Structures are given as C-alpha cells and as structure tokens.
Amino acid sequence: MEKLDILVKIENSSYYIMPSMMPPSTFDAVCEKIGILTNKCKRTSWLCFKFEFLPPSFFNHLSAWFIRKYNPSKLDSGIALYRGICMFDIEASGGKKIMVTMSSDTIALQVVSFSEQHEGLRSTCSDIFSGVTQLITNIKERYKVKISFKLHFKCSDGYYFKDTFEYEKLTIEKECFCIQHKQMHRSEQIYSPWMNNEGKTIPHRAKISTKQEDHNPKNEPNKEEAQDQASVKTNLPVSVNLRQQLNIKKSKNENPTIFSCIKIDNTLVFTYYRNNRLIICNSDGTDIHHIPLSYQPWFMTVVNINTVAVSCIHDRTILIINISTRSVTSTINTSGNCYGISYNDNNLYVVIDLSIIHVIDLTGKVIRTIPLPSDRIWDITVDRDRLVCTDFTSIYCCSLDGELLWKFKIDKFQDLVYVTTDNERNVYVTYYNTNTVEVISDDGKHHRELLTKSDGLDRPWGIYFDKKENILLVCNYYNGKVFLFDVKRKST
C-alpha cells in the first residue's frame, strides 16, 4: 500500500496517513490557521502546473511525495493535511513552508516564509520545481497515463486557479496585466523565484511519449493494428449521422466544464462540476436551466424517467436528484471516493477509490462488493449481466462477479475517459487528447474510430447511448458544445 501511495508513514512517528482520506477544508481556512494572510508572512509567486486533464487521484500521489520529503506543518488542532490542500515545513524551524494545493485542472505551489532571512528562497523554489516536475514524469510513466501540462504563474496574493500567466508568454513580454489587481506586473518578478536554475530553457509543456510512439514517431499503425482496423469494416457495421449540435451556454461569457451527460426521453442532463450544478435542457437545446448542488458533481446515471444519481468524488457522496422537481431527494454517503456510477436492476454500481465496486441499494445499504481488474478504474457502465469499465489506458469487460471476460487496449490511446454501450453491447469510449470516439465490438476483438475532431469533437468527455432511440450523445469538456448522433447498423 505504501508503494501505491495508498498509505504514507509520517517520519519519526508510528502514524500512517491515507492521502485519499484526508479531511476537507477550504483554502481560506488553512491560510487563517497558519497565518499566511498576515503582514508577517512573505509569499512567493504561485507556480501552477495547468493540466489539460488532471485525474483526481493525482493529488494523492503528489501529497504522498511531499509527506515523505517534508514534515507536515503543525496546527493547534493537528497537522495541515487536507483534501486538495496541504502545508509542509521546508526547514526544521518551521519558518519556511510550502503550500501544495489543486483545483480542477491545476496543481499549484507556493513557498511562504515567516523568517526575516530570505537567503536561499529561490534555490528552495527551484529545487522543489525540479522535484515535482520529475515526480509528475514518474507518475505518468508508472501508471501509463498520457497527460500533459503547461507551466503557468500567478502573483503572490492572486488566485492560482484563474487568470494565470503562461510561462511562454512571460518570457516574451516584459510586463503582464493582472486582471485581479488591475495593474501591470513585471514578468521576470513572477516567474524568477521558481526558474532560478532553469533559465528560459525549461520546456513550457511536458508530455511523455509511449513506447509505441518512441518506435513509431509518425503514429502510423503497425501491421497487426492495420489488419485489425481493416477487418473492422466487416465486423463493426456501425454508422453515425449528426442529428443535432447544441450549445448549452446560458450566456456568451459562460464556459461550462461538462463532465458527464445523459439523455432521458426528450431531456438532456449534464454535470457542471466546477460550479456545483446540473444543467438541464430539452434535446433541441431549448429551455436551459440549472439545479444548484451542495457538492461537486462528476459522474451520473439514469435511475428512472424523473431521477438521476450523481457521484461526488471527493465529497464521498451520491446524490439522488429528481430532475422534474429539480430537487435532491436523498443523499448516500460512501466509504471512499466515489467515481463511475451505473444503475441496474434496482441497484447502484459505484467505483470506490478506483479499485472496487460497491453495489448499493437506493437507501445506501452496501449489498456486496465486486473486485476490479485494475486499481485505476475510472468509469463503469452495467449492461444486463456484465459490466464494462475503463482506466485511462484500457477497457475491461467483466461479469457481475468481477470475472474478466476480455480486455481491450491500443498503446497509442492512453487518455480514454468515459464509456457507454448500445443495444448490441458494442462499447463506445471518448478519447480526450486525440479528440475521438472509438467503438469496440461486444467481444473486444474489433474496433473502429467512429468520430474525430472533424465531427466537432474538442476534448470530448461525457458520452451516453440512448438505447430507446439509438442516439449517441457526446459532449465537449470546455466549450459547452453537445452532439447528438443517430446510430445505425449497416446491412452486411
């Protein structure tokens, strides 16, 4: 468990910390407890690793690394380790500290000092930057996750999660305008504490190649894959036609981040996780309205014509929501972080802590558990007597007892996110970085690229197959664009 960063031992103690189980807190509350927002505290600029896609479990690995390297800062009520925000002592006196926090797409670091002596602060920042960059590389290689980030910075008392400055632009322009403070900042003053030893040679974007890409840099399919793709035309006679493209923004300035989507008859529902709400509209894009929630919604499943179940990962909560009355009818607490969720035969199937499924009735009672074929399972869908689940590199089809029936993987795809199935058990998955939707046969032996960027996909995320009308619903992550495709089976 220590090797997987599930448990971390606190140095010079007999205590272990489970990063995924750290209690919640707010940024302001932690700052107040430690005294960061006082005149006695000096703060560097924010170093921000801004990801195109940031898996929620990433912060657990990052905090585990910091726990092993530094001592967690002490508070009156314990230590400063919280879900999504941690503080560590850089030196024994506790005068210098490093804050590590995250938002939905950003990991941010800031060094603070209560000391009158500031020598070595830049060197400290540079060393931390190098260590964290290498850690991210190691995590990606270890778990075979194809993700990338850009370096951003923000002024010391600015918001690290919005209106940040891209490093590449800072190295070009001598000054940058800060929207938050409504004034110009010197660019070098913002990035120099962290880039002391790096100069301008540090890459502004880090991306790790897969083994296949190393040997095949043009991303051309190898012979075996080409033969497989050629046979797909016969074995997967599926075609799609665009029925409608929608934009579910309520205003021009709104950019909803859509994580999950479903279609119930003439109603479309989306999780707008950054703003803690559901977006609901008609299937033609009219009558857009929101249901505000107390938790951050991620995954979603249909319970009945009026009801959906939504999992809120870090809040360890499932919300049962009546979309007709626009109200939360019940709340289910889970024993761990709850990810992918699917409803089947009066029960909810929920991925807990990426490694096991809990079968839960609508009162919250755990009926049984199902082992999973990977400890990084993200999304699931239950289809009659079997379930299909994904981590970021593979698709698994299992019986409802957890027995693996087949596994599908192509090395060049390491960014798959959501999964759904049609009436014939064909599997549809979204690939975030390649802007594609892939369809895989019900036996896992054949596959086909079904939708691409030319079809309007731009960071596709949520996907849902309406088995009643044979309509495939796909939504982009950032721009509020939604697509409905008619799916037909070609005659063979």
Model confidence at 80: pLDDT above 80: yes
Q: Give per-residue pLDDT as tens, 133-149.
A: 888 888 877 777 777 88
User: pTM of the entire structure?
Assistant: 0.58
* pLDDT at residue 219, as a whole number: 36
pLDDT of the residue at 9:
67
The backbone torsions φ and ψ at residue 474, rounded to the nearest 5 degrees and listed phi first, read -130, 140
Residue-wise pLDDT tens digits, 224-264: 333 333 333 335 778 899 999 999 876 766 777 888 999 99
Average pLDDT over residues 39-58: 85
- Contact, 45 vs 190, CB < 8 A? yes
Q: What pLDDT does residue 140 have?
A: 78
Distance CA 146, CA 134 (A): 15
Which residues, 6 or more positions from 438, have their beta carbon under 8 angstroms from its beta carbon?
Answer: 413, 416, 428, 429, 431, 447, 448, 449, 450
Q: How many residues does the chain have?
A: 492
Task: Return the minimum-mean-pLDDT range out of 20-34, 120-134, 313-327.
Answer: 120-134
Q: What is the mean pLDDT of the chain?
A: 83
pLDDT digits (tens, 9 = 90+) for 158-180: 888 888 999 888 888 888 888 88
Domain 8-208 CATH (choose: 3.30.930.10, 3.30.310.200, 3.30.1060.10, 3.40.640.10)? 3.30.310.200
Whether residue 52 has pLDDT greater than 50: yes
CB-based contacts of 119: which residues, under 8 Å, 6+ apart?
Answer: none
pLDDT score recorded for residue 390: 93
Place of tokens 């929207």: 179
Bridge partners (DSSP) listed for residue 489: 238
Q: Give the pLDDT of residue 314.
A: 83
Phi, psi of 220 (to 5 degrees): -80, 140
pLDDT higher than 90, residue 54: no
Whether residue 88 is predicted with pLDDT greater than 60 in this model: the reply is: yes
Residue 485 has pLDDT above 80, yes or no: yes
Q: Is the pLDDT of residue 326 over 90?
A: yes
The rounded distance, in Å, linking the Cα atoms of 100 and 113 is 15
Q: Is the confidence at residue 48, as pLDDT, over 90?
A: yes
Q: How far is CA 299 from CA 203, 260, 271, in A?
A: 34, 6, 7
- State the CB neighbour count (10 A cutoff) for residue 419: 24
Residues of the chain with CATH 3.30.310.200: 8-208
Angle between the N-to-C axes of helices 121-143 and 58-69, in degrees from 0 to 180, rounded to the nearest 10: 130
- pLDDT bin (cut points 50, 70, 90) of residue 413 is low
Least confidently predicted of 11-15, 178-182, 243-247, 348-352: 11-15
pLDDT at 206 over 50: no
Residues 6+ apart with CB under 8 A from 125: 44, 47, 111, 193, 194, 196
Listed in sequence order, the residues at least 6 apart from 143 whose beta carbon sits closer than 8 Å to its beta carbon are 376, 392
For residue 7, pLDDT over 50 is answered with yes
Report whether pLDDT(20) > 90: no
Single-letter amino acid code for the residue at 151: L
Q: Where in the chain is the domain with CATH 2.120.10.30?
A: 214-489
How high is the pLDDT of residue 340? Answer: 95
Look at residue 15 and tell me whether its pLDDT is greater than 90: no
Ranges of beta strands (E only) in 202-266 are 205-207, 238-247, 258-264
Work out the end-to-end distance of the chain between its first and last CA atoms, rounded to an integer number of angstroms: 51
CATH number for the region 214-489 comes to: 2.120.10.30
pLDDT for 481 beyond 70: yes
Mean pLDDT of 400-427: 87
Structure confidence at residue 210 (pLDDT) = 30
Rounded to whole angstroms, the Cα distance separating 492 from 234 reads 7
Top-confidence residue, 211 or 427: 427
Phi and psi for 256 in degrees, rounded to 5? -65, 135
Q: What would the mean pLDDT of 311-335 be, rounded to a whole number?
A: 95
Flag whether pLDDT at 218 surpasses 60.
no
pLDDT band (50, 70, 90) for residue 23: confident
pLDDT for 213 equals 33
pLDDT at 17 over 50: yes
- Up-side HSE of residue 261: CA atoms within 13 Å toward CB? 32
